[in-house]
Each structure stands twice: as structure tokens, then as C-alpha cells.
Amino acid sequence: MSSHHNASASPSTANIPGETPTSRLFGPPASARAVSSHRSKNPFDLHAINTSNALPSPTAGPKSASAAFNLGAGGAFGSFGFKTPKTPGTNGNDALSAAGATLPTTPGLLGKGGLTASEVVAGGKKPVIPPVPESHPLKDEWVVWYRSPGNKFQDYEKSTHKIAHFKTVEEFWTVYSHLKRPSNLPHVSDYHLFKKGIRPVWEDKENRAGGKWNIRLKKGVANRYWEDLMLAIVGDQFGDAGDDLCGAVLSVRGNEDVLSVWTRVDGSSCLKIRQTVMTKLALPAGTRIDWKSHATSLEAVNNKTAPTTTPAGVSQQTQ
């Protein structure tokens, strides 16, 4: 039995028959979802994304994923394009003619607006092959985890499950448009966004020597701040300090919500991460951001109960 954080009393979270906690995480289609938390100021058309097989190019339009990640010329990801090769034999004097193929004598069949010798032999115009949709790789591959509500004695790591992963801009928007917003999550549940290969627990080798910046939020504003934080992290907005960033956690509680940014070190680069969070989230002046090392959290838990498996996450800070 492992220890777990204390949390504000939460309403009943009993599962609906035939429905798993993870399945409830995904909401209705994007077309039926409410507008983004940014409202009229939202620079991204989050809920207009086409999640069918015919995914539109992210470089189309000023509100596209491409614009969100500065994918144009000189952007962080550079520009990607396709060059259509020229089709040989457009004047009727191609290799087929040289090989003895009989050319039709019907006036107007060849030349401008007509068919080439190759097309006549083939029986008509060649089909137009549509270009392959563009794909814009992210610097890192990311995994989204979800922990559903449970009693405080459950094993934290075992109750936290992978629900999605992505490594391109297009995959990110597809995943994000299907996730429930924080305001629709039950109390005492958590979202985790971590680099692939890093578990969202204190004991992971990438987290052990680091810590986390915690921001307590009043109810009703988590949607916007979680969205902005995800975009900053996935969009590689932390510069060189991004290498020391492991992930982020959103903890939904009864009286407040808590944002947490995890780092793998406890040093000067952490201060740059803090400043970037302040800037990208446009937090009000005087907003309190508390630092706590994972070693301190582990020590506090061990002094209480000495569990076999230590719970993880910013939720420990919501006492």
C-alpha cells in the first residue's frame, strides 16, 4: 500500500456502467465542442481541425497549427515544400514516336489543349496524383498520461495511464482536440505531459535530481493556462533550458487547480524555465511560483509512511 497526497473532498466519481475512466477522458467530436478558452483572442483555430483521414495542410491559413508553431520561412521547424517534376514528352515527339508509334492526324488532337502521343497510346489523360500531406516533426516525442480519481491509498503510478502520444505538429492537434478540457475533468484527477521515456514519478532517473515549479490557480482559469503551457512546451519555447524540462502536470482539485513544470536538474537553468512560464502564460505580476525538489518530496513521504511505491505528481503539493 502506498501513500498518496491529501486532496479536497471530491464528489462521487463512480464509473458509468460500461464505461472506463480512460474512455470518459475523450469528449465529443470537435464540431460539437465549445470554443477555445482563449475565446476571441485565441490565435489558434483549435476546434476546427479535421480529424478525418484527409488531414488538411497545417500551413494553410493564419490560424493554423503552422502559424501557432511559426512554421514558415525562418521558423523553428523551417519550411517544407514539394516540387512537381516536369513531365517528359509534352510535344508528341517523345520516345514512343521514335519507336514507331503511329501518331493520329486528327486536327487539334496534339499541341496546346490536346493529348500527347504517350497519352493517346495510354488511352487518355494521366490521373493526377495528389501530394502527400506535409508533416512537421517536433523536437521531442511526447506522451499524455491521465490519472483518474481514486482513494488516497492507491498506488499512484499504477493508477496513471498512457492515453496518447505524438511527435509531429499535426498529431499534437489531433490529440489535443479530442482531450477533455480541465474544467470537464472530475476532481482529484491529473493530466501529465512528459517526454517519451520519462515516467511521471519522482523516482524516474530523469526526475530524481530535479524538482518542479508549482502554480496554484483559482477555479475556472485552468483551461487557458494548461493550453498555453502545452503549446509552449511542445513548441520548444524554452530555448536551451528546454533540455532540462521533463514535463508538466495539471492537478484538478475541489477548491483549486495546480500547474506544475518538472525539471531534471536543480540549478540556474530552472530559473530560466520559471521566467519562460511567467512570460508564455502571461501571468499577473506577483503571481507566486513555488519550487520544491523531488528529493524533498520523497523525504517527506518516507518520513510519514515509508511506502513500498512512492506516489508522484504535483498533487502531493495540494495539501
Query: In the chain, where are the structural domains located?
Result: 23-48+135-318
Cell of 172: 499534437
Distance set, CA 129 to CA 87, 120, 126, 178, 276 (Å): 13, 19, 9, 31, 45
Residue 206 has pLDDT above 60, yes or no: yes
124-144 in b/e burial notation, b at 16+ Cβ within 10 A? eeeeeeeeeebebebebebbb
Reported as a pLDDT band with limits 50, 70 and 90, residue 15 is: very low
What pLDDT does 114 receive? 57
pLDDT (tens digit per residue) in 160-200: 999 999 999 999 999 999 999 999 999 999 999 999 999 99
pLDDT the model gives residue 297: 87
What is the C-alpha separation between 73 and 77, in angstroms, rounded? 9
The gap from C-alpha 279 to its chain's centroid, in whole angstroms, comes to 20
Mean local confidence (pLDDT), 4-15:
42
CA–CA dist 56, 63 (Å, integer): 13
Per-residue confidence band for 119, with pLDDT thresholds at 50, 70 and 90: low
Q: Of 77-91, 181-195, 274-288, give the lowest mean pLDDT range.
A: 77-91
- Give residue 155's identity as a one-letter amino acid code: D
Q: Report which residue type is found at 83.
A: K
Strands annotated E in the chain: 137-147, 160-168, 189-195, 211-217, 245-252, 257-263, 290-293
CATH for the 23-48+135-318 domain, from 3.30.760.10, 3.40.50.10480, 3.40.50.720, 2.60.320.10: 3.30.760.10
Alpha-carbon dihedral of residues 297, 299, 301, 304, nearest 10 degrees? -150
Where does the pLDDT of residue 9 fall: very low under 50, low under 70, confident under 90, or very high at 90 and above? very low
Looking at every residue in the chain, the average pLDDT score rounds to: 72
How confident is the model at residue 130, as a pLDDT? 78
Separation of alpha carbons 76 and 262, rounded Å: 23
Whether the pLDDT of residue 30 is over 80: the answer is: no
- In this prediction the pTM is 0.58
CA diameter of the chain: 96
The answer to whether residue 64 scores a pLDDT higher than 50 is: no
Residue 72 has pLDDT above 90, yes or no: no
Better pLDDT: 118 or 88: 118
pLDDT reading at 108 higher than 90: no
